[in-house]
Amino acid sequence: MAGDRNTALNFSVAPERYPWHGALWSALSRQFDQLPHALLLQGRPGLGKHAFAVQLAQALLCEQPRAGVACGKCHGCHLFSVGTHPDLSGVGLVDDAKSITVDQIRALGDFLSLRPHTATRKVVIISPADAMNINAANSLLKLLEEPPLGSMLLLVTSHPARLPATIRSRCARLLFRLPTPSVGQAWLQTRPETRNQPAQLLDLAGGAPLLAEILAHEEFPQMRAKLLQDLAGLSQGREHPVTCAARWKSLGTARALGWLHGFVSDQIRIRMGAPASALLNPEVAARGAQENNKYKINELYGFIDVILENYRQINSPLDELLMLEDVLIRWVRLSRLQ
Ligand SMILES: [Zn+2]
């Protein structure tokens, strides 16, 4: 990879091929030598599209790929693994940038206009492609209309509708689908953070295994302590749902709701006689039986549904602050009912 323009993209090769990518790989490997010059990798977040693009780029630059898999041993693979392959480039969001700019896309055009150094082709990754602003998209369109010989463009997006139709129509679509729950859960069972509650986390993540893993990671203790404090304050009338909702939003709506789901699930587990070791939140076990037994189990189940319903709306146009206020007002009602 040449130049600063690559710094925004993570090219480190994912250590594994995700099991739910199997069908896509076999479809690609059958036409590996005649791939179209532009692919649009699309599908929901949390399915490993970017990792797939990186693995595909490596296979495309490998000197002796087998059935779409890079050999891992050749000179090309070596350059790739240390991040210095001169025939690979990519753009993404730099630091806190909100969009991919026209200058970034022009730099890709310059890169593609030169002949490959060591491989037979040049590969670029644009991820997330939907982050291109309108000028960047227009500049890319020119590249797609007259692609330099031997160039291969991989566009990654979770929001294809945000890309101009003119761009979409010039790419072959590679659609990433949700794995079946059994495949997703089996994979989560192999990861230390998610192995104890694969079904629940997968459900919370809408079926996307990598998103489920992120949710599990993000239950860091500091945030948990703050959220617990807020819940106690709400139950006791010391805190107001509107102030708490603003705080929860600043911590990240998905994380906060993900944690709340685990917290309420723990209450249900306790009511069902689960031992402390089976709980997600050690603080819940430490609260004592009186505090933990005060909620009715059917109301807890109802509240879990409210959390999931709101969680699924996170990327919709609904205002996240209003969603959180709604959830917390219902929590206050639930805890005052007892
Ligand atoms: Zn190789």
| Inter-CA distances, 96 with 99, 238, 283, Å | 9, 36, 35
Q: What DSSP line would sit under 35-78, residue for residue?
A: --SEEEEEE-TTS-HHHHHHHHHHHHH-SS-BTTB--SSSHHHH
CA end-to-end span of the chain: 61
- Give me ligand 1 centre to Cα 124, in Å: 18
- Give me ligand 1 centre to Cα 12, in Å: 15
- Give me ligand 1 centre to Cα 128, in Å: 26
DSSP 147: P
- Give me ligand 1 centre to Cα 242, in Å: 56
- Give me ligand 1 centre to Cα 43, in Å: 28
- Give me ligand 1 centre to Cα 110, in Å: 26
- Give me ligand 1 centre to Cα 71, in Å: 4
pTM of the model: 0.69
- Give me ligand 1 centre to Cα 258, in Å: 41
141: left (phi over 0), alpha (psi -120 to 50) or beta: alpha
| 171 touches 38 (CB < 8 A) | yes
- Give me ligand 1 centre to Cα 67, in Å: 12
Other Cβ atoms within 10 Å of 192 Cβ, number: 7
What does the pLDDT read at residue 6?
40
- Give me ligand 1 centre to Cα 68, in Å: 11
- Give me ligand 1 centre to Cα 60, in Å: 9
Tens-level pLDDT at each residue, the chain (338 residues)? 333 334 446 666 656 789 999 999 999 988 888 899 999 999 988 899 999 999 999 999 999 998 888 999 999 999 998 888 999 999 998 877 889 999 999 999 999 999 888 888 999 999 999 999 999 999 999 999 999 999 999 999 988 988 999 999 999 999 999 999 999 999 999 988 888 888 878 877 778 999 888 877 765 556 777 888 999 899 889 999 999 999 999 888 887 888 888 888 888 888 888 777 677 676 777 776 666 677 888 889 999 999 988 887 876 777 889 999 999 999 999 887 65
- Give me ligand 1 centre to Cα 88, in Å: 14
Q: Check if CATH label 3.10.129.10 holds for domain 4-177.
A: no
DSSP 19: G
- Give me ligand 1 centre to Cα 83, in Å: 14
What does the pLDDT read at residue 218?
64
- Give me ligand 1 centre to Cα 66, in Å: 9
Sketch the domain layout of the chain as residue ranges: 4-177, 218-337
CA distance linking residue 193 with residue 226, whole number of Å? 21
What does the pLDDT read at residue 334?
86
- Structure token pair of residue 274: 């689960």
- Give me ligand 1 centre to Cα 63, in Å: 5
User: Which residues are registered as beta bridge partners of 153?
Assistant: 38, 124
Where are the alpha helices (H) located in the chain, listed in sequence order? 22-30, 49-61, 75-81, 102-113, 134-145, 165-168, 181-188, 198-204, 209-217, 221-235, 241-251, 253-271, 282-286, 289-292, 297-312, 320-337
- Give me ligand 1 centre to Cα 76, in Å: 6
| Inter-CA distances, 118 with 10, 62, 77, 78, 172, Å | 22, 10, 11, 12, 26
| 251 touches 226 (CB < 8 A) | yes
- Give me ligand 1 centre to Cα 41, in Å: 23
What does the pLDDT read at residue 311?
84
The fold adopted by the segment(s) 218-337 is Zinc Finger, Delta Prime; domain 3 (1.20.272)
What does the pLDDT read at residue 15?
61
User: Which residues are registered as beta bridge partners of 40?
Assistant: 155, 173
- Give me ligand 1 centre to Cα 89, in Å: 18
- Give me ligand 1 centre to Cα 176, in Å: 25
